[in-house]
Structure 1
Amino acid sequence: MDIKAPDLGVDSAEVSEIMVEVGDVIAKDDNIILLESDKASVEVPSSAAGKVTKISVAVGDQVSEGMVLIELESEAGADSQNDSQSTDEKSADTENKTEPAADKQNESQDNQQAEKQSNTSTAEVNTSQSAKQASEQAGKATTHALPDLGVDEAQVSEIMVSVGDIVTADQSILLIESDKASVEVPAPEAGKVEKILVQAGDMVANGQDFIVIIGEGTASTSTANESKAETSESQASKPADSTNKTESAEQSDKSQTTDKPKQAAKSTSSTSAAHAKLSEAQVNEKMVDIYAGPAVRKLARQLGVDISQVAGSALNERILKEDLFAHVKGKLNTQKTAPDSGNGVSSILPSLPDMSNTEIWGETEVQDLSRLQKVSIPQLNYNTLLPQVTQFDLSDITETEKLRGELKGAMKAEGIGFTILAFVVKATAYALTQHPRFNSHLSDDNTQVILRKSVNMGIAVATDDGLIVPVIKNVQDKGLKQIAIEIGELAVKARDKKLTTKELQGASFTISSQGNLGGTAFTPLVNWPQVGILGVSEASMQPRWNASKQTFEPRLMLPLSLSYDHRMINGADAAVFTRYIATLLADPRRILL
């Protein structure tokens, strides 16, 4: 039987992929050939079922309507041939007197096997129907997607529940960690955990499915029905399994051989969870100029691969499934052989010497870095690439401290901690609106300046796990009281690891205050892509010359340390900016002008 090309909608199309091989047994509507024209890819289905005896086209051929694609031996023909062969065998076997008995025995065993397989099939159908009815009675399990994480991707640090656990709504079930924060993902509904779709260490993205939950009212019923279905299926499958051990082993070996590409795809899919999966719309947008078939596009979506980065190995650089697997494998091998070292900065340093010789190095102890410290290292390594300079100055905050002392009692009564940091944040924000170059970023090609219209102030907070920098948004529009409230709230969240990713993003400038920790000055590191950071040390009483009184008098002086990216800021501008902040802090009334 000839299987011909249907109406393609075009005069001709190119054979891009042949999906069957000679000897394959296919069903009606199984895809057999992938045809591609200038604007579309079409998978051609078989119009009949049977065994493939001949493939009449090759990859790269031009095919038009009515052209023979493959030849099939129909199922009826195959059965007739089998009957004929059986008749011939029986005729030949009559010459041997001992073989008929064996044939009858084999035939009897075959009949028993067929009957058992039929019983197994019937049991499976009944089990399937029973499970379906149970599912309908118990309600459908719901697959839930991750909420907006505020970042492109984050790592699953801890899974707080197990399959079978009963959870309540808003119970923390997943701990997600990005570069600067840990976020607990709550349960979207109450019920029983049916399946967990992510693993610890996976990189996940917004909207990615992560858990399957059966609603609270249906969990127990579903469990009972599942148990009953499993028991029925187990009882039905035992006879068939015991009869067909040899056949099952052969089928298993064959499955392992023929399904290697599928297993590779599954393995690749699981290991490639480190890459955030792209949505279908994103993949299709990137596929405009990409030469690949529908099956390849679907696989790219499943693997989360940016197909525009994959090199095609077929005719006209068309991308095959094997190209996707090779791309992912290459990425994984690259990650294994060259782990993240902060954009290669640390690779400049030589390896540590062998410290196993205690006579030279003494006793040593190895301790793991915290998650926060590990993810901070690549960001800190960027400073090696920045030409950073620090400008120092002092601000006389004697009068400002008197004002703070007058206001802090009322603030404390409202539960607000009113520190000098609130004044520093407000004065710095105002200074940034007057000197916008400090509130900007340098473009990637080093030809443009990206000025920020709003001031989003990062506030460095020390925690047990390391330094963390939450962000106060639109500081230029907020008063001292509101700034003090938000500083207190963010500090508590940081120490309790309750900050959301959005509260850690978008800073245009950073303030690092050492408060009363001591020290007279320090050189804070610019947090790229920002161009400046202000360090604040402990204020101290110092003698200052009063020209009008011609005498020294004690004044409360606050040390300021401004580090800046010298590619964007020159020394003169940095000195003017630092002195401007010092002047505002000395007399906050200037901010009101």
Structure 2
Amino acid sequence: MSVIEVKVPDIGDYKNVPIIEVHVKPGDAIKRDDPLVTLESDKAAMEVPAPEGGQVAEVLVRVGDKVSEGSAILRLTSDAATPSDTKSANPPSSTPPPPRTETAPEPQSASGPGEPPDTTKGAAPRTPLPLGSDFGRVHASPSVRRLARELDIDLTRLTGTGEKGRITKEDVKRALSGGAGGGSGIPEIPPQDFAKYGPIETKPLTRLKRLSGPHLTRAWLNIPHVTHTDEADITDLESYRKTLDAAAKEKGYRVTLLAFLMKASVVVLKEFPEFNASLSPDKGSLILKRYYHLGIAVDTPDGLVVPVIREVDRKGIIELSQELGDVSQRMREGKIAPADIQGGTFSISSLGGIGGTSFTPIVNAPEVAILGVVRAETKPKWDGAQFAPRLMLPLCVSYDHRVIDGALAARFTRRLAEILEDVRQLVL
């Protein structure tokens, strides 16, 4: 039996990430992969798992501390370790398990259940804050302080509604809607006592939804969304896909339409580079990206997650299909690292397996466009001599109107349809 020092494993490019929860205390018996602490970066909430089982001898961190890769978390008495003096639980010769991550496209904040709904408290004007503002002795958690800095909210001017006057994320969000700037003039929905009308049940949102909600709200409020729709005749493509899929099943994976959508999107993104771009922070320039990392929306039991498939332009349909299957499985099991959701240039949200005729996907800022597809439908189409049954796929492209105008969006979507209608163009 010996005491080992457990350290933060590889968490990507993040440094000085605040600890928002400590799950263990001295004397606790833990098993391999049990959560030790939860970190909250600007992209995800990450649980750091135990590298092996044992008993917690000493906890070296507390809520609010900031850690990076290699920071010591706790000391663990382990039966499996080789007897020696205190040593690291993550030696260079072994690969530690990745932190379990609850993710979102670019989540910024979360709020806890049970906080007061009083909308008269906490409102304050937004004023530009100096870089690195830490708000002195303000009674607020590190994640609330970071959220306030990102939204230019002065915490010193807020009245906290949390325990002992603590400023909560709900207080910050109320200040955002009650002050000048982004979100100005949007009143809060007044609270109601639903129980007086009949039986109710309160079900807390998952952490994933609480993280993604503010990001989606911010993207919707800041981006002037427009959605252009079109249809692609995928009759021939679907026949070819089924041929590939039949062979793939015998090897343990599937070939879906999504892989073809990804390859076709890259072809069109190269022809229309404005769609594979982001606005500069000062909104005066367009940053054109010469790489093609596509975010793919994945439905999980806890909510929507958008992993990024990298270098799509360098991969074929088979390789993409295998990677999609692997990524989707890891996402649903919660086994994904922060790097897996970073660096996307264009996103695709497919509801084809569920249904619908069209929808408006929300642009995944800082991207400027997103493709949404729903279920294909067989329709009669005139071929010049008669009506023939054709499988038509609805395409819904939402875009940032500050960057892309309607005519360009129409050309982009029509070109995408043309490529899907003639799969041979994917190899040109």
Using the size of structure 2 for normalisation, the TM-score is 0.73
The alpha-carbon distance between structure 1 residues 163 and 475, as it changes in their structure 2 partners (threshold 3 A), is same
2:148 corresponds to which residue? Answer: none
Counterpart check, 1:393 vs 2:230? yes
Residue from 241, 254, 257 that aligns with 1:420: 257
Question: Which has the bigger relative contact order, CA under 8 A and spacing at least 6?
Answer: 2
Counterpart check, 1:344 vs 2:176? yes
Q: CA deviation at 1:453?
A: 1.3
Counterpart check, 1:195 vs 2:27? no
Counterpart check, 1:329 vs 2:149? no
The alpha-carbon distance between structure 1 residues 181 and 351, as it changes in their structure 2 partners (threshold 3 A), is closer
Contact 1:178 1:501 in 2 (8 A): no
Q: Which consecutive unaligned segments of at least 5 residues does structure 1 have?
A: 1-137, 223-306, 311-323
2:245 corresponds to which residue? Answer: 408
Taking only the aligned residue pairs, the percentage that are identical comes to 37
Q: CA deviation at 1:562?
A: 0.2
**Deviation readout 1:472-527 (Å, 9 max, x if unpaired):** 01111100011111111111111111111111111111000002211111110001
Counterpart of 2:271, as a letter, is Q
1:229 corresponds to which residue? Answer: none
Distance 1:568 1:220 in 2: 62
SS at match of 1:433: helix
Contact 1:179 1:375 in 2 (8 A): no
SS at match of 2:370: strand
Distance 1:370 1:486 in 2: 27
1:289 corresponds to which residue? Answer: none
Counterpart check, 1:541 vs 2:404? no
Counterpart check, 1:575 vs 2:407? no
Contact 1:196 1:210 in 2 (8 A): yes
Distance 1:219 1:459 in 2: 44
Counterpart of 2:391, as a letter, is L
Distance 2:426 2:364 in 1: 27
1:436 corresponds to which residue? Answer: 273
**Deviation readout 1:557-578 (Å, 9 max, x if unpaired):** 0000000001111111111111
Residue from 312, 318, 324 that aligns with 1:487: 324
Distance 2:359 2:257 in 1: 18
Distance 2:175 2:347 in 1: 23
Q: Which consecutive unaligned segments of at least 5 residues does structure 2 have?
A: 86-129, 142-154, 161-166, 178-182
Distance 1:338 1:190 in 2: 35
Distance 1:365 1:427 in 2: 45
Contact 1:181 1:497 in 2 (8 A): no
Counterpart check, 1:557 vs 2:420? no
Residue from 205, 208, 214 that aligns with 1:372: 208
SS at match of 1:467: strand
Q: CA deviation at 1:212?
A: 2.3
Residue from 26, 35, 58 that aligns with 1:163: 26
1:592 corresponds to which residue? Answer: 427
Distance 2:328 2:277 in 1: 25
SS at match of 1:574: helix
1:507 corresponds to which residue? Answer: 344
1:212 corresponds to which residue? Answer: 75
Residue from 521, 524, 528 that aligns with 2:361: 524
Distance 2:274 2:324 in 1: 25
Counterpart of 1:586, as a letter, is E
Distance 2:379 2:231 in 1: 11
1:148 corresponds to which residue? Answer: 11
Contact 1:342 1:378 in 2 (8 A): no
2:116 corresponds to which residue? Answer: none
Q: CA deviation at 1:428?
A: 0.6
1:58 corresponds to which residue? Answer: none
Counterpart of 1:461, as a letter, is V
The alpha-carbon distance between structure 1 residues 171 and 466, as it changes in their structure 2 partners (threshold 3 A), is closer
Distance 1:574 1:513 in 2: 19
Q: CA deviation at 1:157?
A: 6.7
Q: CA deviation at 1:454?
A: 0.8
The alpha-carbon distance between structure 1 residues 355 and 155, as it changes in their structure 2 partners (threshold 3 A), is same
Counterpart of 1:492, as a letter, is Q
Distance 1:204 1:171 in 2: 19
**Deviation readout 1:303-329 (Å, 9 max, x if unpaired):** xxxx9857xxxxxxxxxxxxx9x7243
Counterpart of 1:590, as a letter, is Q
Distance 1:510 1:400 in 2: 21
Distance 2:33 2:202 in 1: 38
Distance 2:174 2:307 in 1: 22
The alpha-carbon distance between structure 1 residues 140 and 211, as it changes in their structure 2 partners (threshold 3 A), is closer
Distance 2:24 2:233 in 1: 55
2:126 corresponds to which residue? Answer: none
SS at match of 1:341: helix
Q: CA deviation at 1:388?
A: 0.9
Counterpart of 2:400, as a letter, is D
Q: CA deviation at 1:446?
A: 1.2
Distance 2:194 2:373 in 1: 43
**Deviation readout 1:524-565 (Å, 9 max, x if unpaired):** 000110000000110010111102xx1110000000000000
SS at match of 2:73: strand
Counterpart of 2:398, as a letter, is S
Contact 1:157 1:177 in 2 (8 A): yes
1:381 corresponds to which residue? Answer: 217
Residue from 443, 468, 472 that aligns with 2:305: 468
Distance 2:207 2:81 in 1: 39
1:459 corresponds to which residue? Answer: 296
Residue from 314, 327, 332 that aligns with 1:477: 314
